[in-house]
Each structure stands twice: as structure tokens, then as C-alpha cells.
Amino acid sequence: MKMFLISNNQDTLTGMRLAGVEGAIARSREELSELLDRAFKDKDIGIVLLNEKFSVKYPDITNAAKMNKNTLVIEIPDRHGTGRRPDFITSYINEAIGVKL
């Protein structure tokens, strides 16, 4: 099983390539949709990595992609950091399993 990165900047793509992860850059809504479709059709790709900024810019596309049952879609921060709250892990646990930490 392979990972595939869809990034909105060259720096993230270069860093992931150094780690052995292939990918492509999407600079528009159409490019993002095309790259996701291509990744989902490739049976060797089991994990798609997306920059978090795509969720802010195109939430409908990223939410639909996460519903794909054959491929795991994971959002990652880019070199500028994350757009998440500092306590996002704690709040995620609270929402997921109802345990307050």
C-alpha cells in the first residue's frame, strides 16, 4: 500500500518526496478533484495525504473524500503550521468517545 500527497505548495511536496511519498500539487478546485479521483482509482494507494488548507478552502470536496471507503484520507499541516486549535487532540477525544480530559 502506498501513500499519495496532494499539496497546495512545493515545499510540502518536496519534503514528503524526501520521505518516499509521491504526490502532486493542486492549485484549484478542479485540480484537487481530478487528483483525488485519480488517487482513488489507483488500487495501490491506500492513504491520501491532504494539506489542511484544502479543508478550509474546499470543505465539500475534502469531506466527500473522507467518506471514501477504500482509501484513508488524512489532513496534514504544511510548513506554516496547523490551522487547528492548540487543544484539538483533547477536543477530538471528547467528541469521539465522550471522555473529558
pLDDT tens digits for range 7-50:
998 988 998 899 999 999 999 999 999 999 999 999 999 999 99
* Integer CA distances (angstroms), 59 to 14, 37, 42, 63, in order: 25, 16, 23, 6
pLDDT tens digits for range 47-85:
999 998 898 899 999 999 999 888 999 888 876 656 666
Q: In CATH, what number is assigned to the domain containing residue 37?
A: 3.40.50.10580
User: pTM (2 decimals)?
Assistant: 0.78
What is the count of structural domains for the chain? 1
Query: Rounded CA gap, 95 and 67, in Å?
Result: 18
Closest CA to 39 of 83, 7, 81, 12: 7
Query: Rounded CA gap, 94 and 101, in Å?
Result: 7
Range of the domain at 37: 2-97
